Amino acid sequence: MSWQGKILRINLTSGELTPEPLNMEWAHDYIGERGLATKYLWENMDPKADAMSPENALIFATGPLTGTNASTSGRYAVVTKGPLTGAIACSNSGGKFGAELKYAGFDLLLIEGRSEKPVYLLIEGDEISLVSADKIWGKTVWETDAWIKKQHHNPMLKIATIGVAGERGVRYAAVVNDLHRAAGRSGVGTVMGSKNLKAIAIRGTGGVRVKDPKRFMEVTDEMKNLLAKSTGGLTKYGTNAMMDTMQEFGGLPTNNFQQVQFDGADKIDAKAMLKTDETGHTNLLTNKACFGCTIACGRIAHIREDHFTIQNRKEYWHASGGLEYETAFAFGPVVGVDDIDACTFAGYLMNEHGVDPISFGVTLAAAMELYEMGVITTDDTDGVELNFGNAEALTIMAEKTGKQEGFGEILGMGSRRMCEKYGHPELSMTVKGQEFAGYDSRALQGMGLGYATGNRGACHLKHDTFDVDMDDQTGEGKAEPCKTSQDWTAAVDSSGLCMFTMGAWGAPEFAAQLDADSEGEWTAERLTQSGERIWNLERMFNLAAGLTRADDTLPERLLKDPAPSGTAKGRVNELDRMLPEYYDLRGWNEAGEPTEDTLGRLGLI
Amino acid sequence: MQIKVRVTGHLIDFCSVDAVELPGGASVDDAIGLLGIPLDQVGLVSVDGLAVSKAKRAGTVLADGSEMVVMAPLTGG
């Protein structure tokens, strides 16, 4: 099996570092990564604890397939109680860090307490230590990565770190690994900062063993071939290939969800990234793969050196992470900006300072609406005119938020807290306090149900109703695919593999790889039921934390203001119709609580 | 008859024209087939701004001058 059979408990208050055996019973019941970390969180903290307190736990977890020869096996998850929502926070990432953690001999890191002074965790071969981070506290993600490698004379270290945003309490700070990949959502970097933990640096020189090497090689080869036929243009165009689809469909949130189509979409979409301008400049340089990935959807881009964002800043005259769909949405339509270089630069800043681009963009969009309503003025915004479409305002505010300067401190509160502060909570495009991704739920009804019931708040990655939503724009029949795909996505997120394989691989394909990898009989049915168990345990955490049915809702704008254009013109989201059916399918009562029968069936009592 | 065509996402790899000649009575599925776009890679089609579901594509007849948009499936991300 590819489990190392060992976790590391890190008590930052006492400084104790304690290797412990991996609880294999939990690994069997919760698969790994997201699910296993949820179980460890549930057993190791009180869900009522303040997310920013030492009583919160922070878990980095690999899956059983992380670091193996399976395609996309670079995934790891960060799970904690979220400071943006007060709900469970689960954010996963690719890059190389996850596999390195496995190669260092650990399946999971369980971080507790709070260090008196800033530290970073160093795992280098058999040496494990907490090292003073005095010299890198206040440094960016990129500076921290370079400093730690230089300090330890080891360019092979793989580093996950926070930027200043995480240190200073931006509610949606990210953990960035390998410079450009991030556990971006739900403020997992904020929790890391609250613990005075700047970074985790790992060099692992071990490997992984699988249960049946010959069968594993055969099945993973077969799966790679299947994947190669089914990537839907991800390799060539990246996820931003969805921009023009959402534009034509009429589900592209624009100007803080006031519109659903954006006139400038064709200036920032995947084709625009490939277009060579009159100076010979092309935004996209190449694509990039995470560890073990045969898709390579990552984008590497560069910005015109004469663009206003970097013309006097040579430190940015280099290639870096380029636009993906969600970053293009968050710096483009939702704030009305159609300047591809400004959008790309905002993306650089998010990685450099460790900020979730989705939450930043949607929070800025709400601020822009407040500004255009006259609720806030240039007196509030450090003199910046915060109109929709102002590309300069986008990049100035991205930097201010990352560095926590001026109005950036307000933006760092997140949309819900900021809109409440200014007396207009209805402008916050959030669920449970977390900002929406780039899909308008008046056009995508099942997406709306998935947003409303998302355990970490509004999230587009914890269910998959795209096919049914595109084919039918009513709420009819959406509860079942939403529930089923939530369970299935929980299983995929727990495997150590990437959800971008889901178009090619279903439950039998995942089960075949897992069964060749790990002990126990892994079947499609078992995987699916494990996913349902994980979803319900996340729900139990949220209920114990104090969330209720009232939190399973959408902003009034999406429930009452019809889509003004597009193929869903005139529609609102039909949540009232879908939610009772969803609870019933889940085996939850009217309060949204799992019944005893449900908990018993899933082995949760 | 002639209809206007737009495609989204990676479907541009299958279809780079912006108009197509079709026989009278041609359906949406006929047009997609003539354009060389694999049916299993189509997410949604709209005709003159109105969505045409998968079940209705074969029975939806195009008119001269119609504007058809063939959208790639969504994948998240």
**By the CB < 8 Å criterion, does B33 face chain A?**
no
Percent of chain A with pLDDT over 70: 100
| Nearest alpha carbon to residue A440 among A567, A577, A271 | A567
Please report, in angstroms and rounded to a whole number, the separation of the first and last CA atoms in chain B.
Answer: 39
Q: Is the predicted pLDDT of residue A225 greater than 80, yes or no? A: yes
Q: Is the predicted pLDDT of residue A101 greater than 80, yes or no? A: yes
Q: Write out chain A residues lying below 8 Å of B69, CB-based.
A: 248
Q: How far apart are CA A460 and CA A500, in angstroms?
A: 13
The DSSP 8-state label assigned to residue A429 in this structure reads -
**DSSP secondary structure string for all residues of A198-234:** EEEEEE-------S-HHHHHHHHHHHHHHHHT--TTH
Confidence of residue A1 (pLDDT cuts 50, 70, 90): low
Q: How far is CA A594 from CA A8, A79, A128, in A?
A: 32, 22, 41
Sign of the dihedral defined by the CA atoms of residues B70, A361, A52, A551, in that order? negative
B38 located within any domain: yes
What ipTM score was computed for the predicted complex, to two decimals? 0.96
Alpha carbon dihedral A112, A115, A119, A122, in 10-degree steps, equals: -30
Q: B77, A244: Cβ pair inside 8 Å? A: no
Mean pLDDT (whole number) for A370-386: 98
Q: How far is CA A200 from CA A122, A128, A147, in A?
A: 6, 11, 13
Q: Write out chain B residues lying below 8 Å of A234, CB-based.
A: 75
Nearest CA in chain A to B8: A245
| Bridge partners for A158 per DSSP | A202
Two tokens, residue A503: 């178009």
Q: Say what the pLDDT of residue A408 is.
A: 98
Q: Is the predicted pLDDT of residue A450 greater than 90, yes or no? A: yes
Confidence of residue A269 (pLDDT cuts 50, 70, 90): very high
A69: CB partners within 8 A, 6+ apart: A210, A216, A217, A220, A292
B76 located within any domain: no
Q: For residue B67, how many other CB atoms are within 10 A of its CB?
A: 14
| Bridge partners for A288 per DSSP | A298
**DSSP secondary structure string for all residues of A466-505:** HHHHHH--SSTT-HHHHHHHHHHHHHHHTTTS-GGGTTT-
pLDDT tens column, A299-326: 999 999 999 999 999 999 999 999 999 9
Backbone angles phi, psi at A11, to 5 degrees: -95, 105
Residue A312: exposure state from Cβ atoms within 10 A (0-12, 13-18, ≥19): exposed
Answer whether A577's CB lies under 8 Å from A583's CB: no
Q: B49, A567: Cβ pair inside 8 Å? A: yes
Q: How far is CA A66 from CA A60, A71, A73, A105, A109, in A?
A: 12, 10, 5, 12, 14
pLDDT tens column, A532-573: 999 999 999 999 999 999 999 999 999 999 999 999 999 999
Three-class SS of A85-146: CCCEEEEEECCCHHHHHHHCCCCEEEEECCCCCCEEEEEECCEEEEEECCCCCCCCHHHHHH
User: What rounded mean pLDDT belongs to chain A?
Assistant: 97
Global pTM reads: 0.98
Q: Write out chain A residues lying below 8 Å of B67, CB-based.
A: none
Backbone angles phi, psi at B50, to 5 degrees: -105, 135
**Which pairing describes strands A58-62 and A284-288: parallel, antiparallel, or unpaired?**
unpaired
Give me the CATH number covering residue B19: 3.10.20.30
A260 Ramachandran zone, left/alpha/beta (phi>0; psi -120 to 50): alpha
SS3 category, A163: coil
Residue A193 corresponds to which amino acid? G
Q: How far apart are CA A581 and CA A182, in angstroms?
A: 35
pLDDT tens column, A462-502: 999 999 999 999 999 999 999 999 999 999 999 999 999 99
Instruction: Return the CATH number of A243-434, one of 3.30.365.10, 3.40.640.10, 1.10.569.10, 3.40.50.150.
Output: 1.10.569.10
Q: For residue B25, how many other CB atoms are within 10 A of its CB?
A: 9
**DSSP secondary structure string for all residues of A263-290:** TTGGGTSHHHHH-B-TTS-BSEEEEE--
Q: How far apart are CA A414 and CA A355, in angstroms?
A: 11
Q: How many CA atoms lie within 13 A of A124 on its CB side?
A: 17
Considering only the beta carbons, identify the residue of B43, B49, B76 that sits closest to A245: B43
Alpha carbon dihedral A161, A163, A164, A165, in 10-degree steps, equals: -100
The domain in which residue B8 lies consists of 2-71
Q: Say what the pLDDT of residue A496 is.
A: 98
Exposure class string for A140-162: b at 16+ Cβ within 10 A, else e: bbbebbbbbbeebeeeebbbbbb
Q: Write out chain B residues lying below 8 Å of A472, CB-based.
A: 53
Considering only the beta carbons, identify the residue of B6, B41, B51 that sits closest to A567: B51
Chain A residues whose C-beta sits inside 8 Å of any chain B C-beta:
232-234, 236-237, 239, 241-242, 244-249, 270-271, 297, 324-326, 439, 460-461, 464, 466-467, 469-473, 499-500, 503, 567-569
Architecture of domain A6-203: 4-Layer Sandwich (3.60)
Confidence of residue A230 (pLDDT cuts 50, 70, 90): confident
Considering only the beta carbons, identify the residue of A241, A461, A569 that sits closest to B10: A241
A33 to chain B, minimum CA–CA distance in Å? 19
B7: CB partners within 8 A, 6+ apart: B14, B15, B35, B37, B69, B70, B71, B72
Q: How far apart are CA A118 and CA A123, in angstroms?
A: 17
Domain ranges (residues) in chain A: 6-203, 243-434, 436-601
Q: How far apart are CA A542 and CA B25, in angstroms?
A: 56
The total number of structural domains that make up chain B? 1
Answer whether A284's CB lies under 8 Å from A303's CB: no
B8 located within any domain: yes
Across the A:B interface, residue pairs with CB atoms under 8 Å apart total 89
Q: Write out chain B residues lying below 8 Å of A248, CB-based.
A: 6, 8, 46, 69, 71
Q: Say what the pLDDT of residue A433 is.
A: 98
CATH (residue range A436-601):
1.10.599.10
Mean pLDDT (whole number) for B10-22: 95
Confidence of residue B76 (pLDDT cuts 50, 70, 90): confident
pLDDT tens column, A8-64: 999 999 999 999 999 999 999 999 999 999 999 999 999 999 999 999 999 999 999
Q: Is the predicted pLDDT of residue A93 greater than 90, yes or no? A: yes
